[in-house]
Amino acid sequence: MSRKFFVGGNFKMNGTIESVKAIAKNLSEAQLDPNVEVVIAPPALYLLLVREHLKSGLEVAAQNVFDKPNGAYTGEISVAQLKDSGINWTILGHSERRTVLGESDAVVASKTKFATEGGVNVIWCCGESLEEREAGQTISVIEKQLAAVAGQISDWSKVVIAYEPIWAIGTGKVATVQQAQEVHEAIRKWLKANVSEKVAEETRILYGGSVNGKNCKELAKEKDIDGFLVGGASLKPEFVDIINSNL
């Protein structure tokens, strides 16, 4: 089967009212490959603003969501509130949430379960540190992360996997095409062996980690790379080139 190419833009903690409106306007007016699913993730404060200014057909994601229903959880956003706001996606398990904010595999899995069961799609992130890669532990680290989430969810149709080597995020370093493809292939093999052949075949696996307008075309050619999760470049005009990298 043909998996629909997917490009996500993670603004992280960047942007102003003026800049996010300009990004939404630029994307809405650009000639984008109609065969690509596009989802952008502004800071929570700007979710509704971006949704209001982004044309229909382009989606908006939160950068996080809580794994409890509405209630006394100061500072958090619920799945129900995202749905109520027309926000149908969230990013979970990003390395910055895991490493800076201490989210464990179990916490990420619980959030993923709560989001998917509540009708919100998840860009689920995994990846290894430089030390883990140099120790030859890349695949074992990612399989451990996969096992945690696979033990919690049943509907994989609401999950897009993003492989993001921590050492390549915001550093300017990029995994070689071969390194990226090897890990993507390993993820797909794990899904086939531990979930199902159908899930392995249908689940989209994105590459993230200093993706830009110059390196995206070569990465997009690989058979197990189904798109990108873009950080800094999603704030720039070249994001359009990345979306159109599969043309």
**Which residues are annotated as catalytic?**
94, 164
Burial class (CB in 10 A: 0-12, 13-18, 19+), 48: middle
What is the rounded (10 degree) CA torsion for 242, 55, 44, 9?
Answer: -10
Q: What are phi and psi of 97, to 5 degrees?
A: -70, -40
Name the token pair of 243: 């979306």
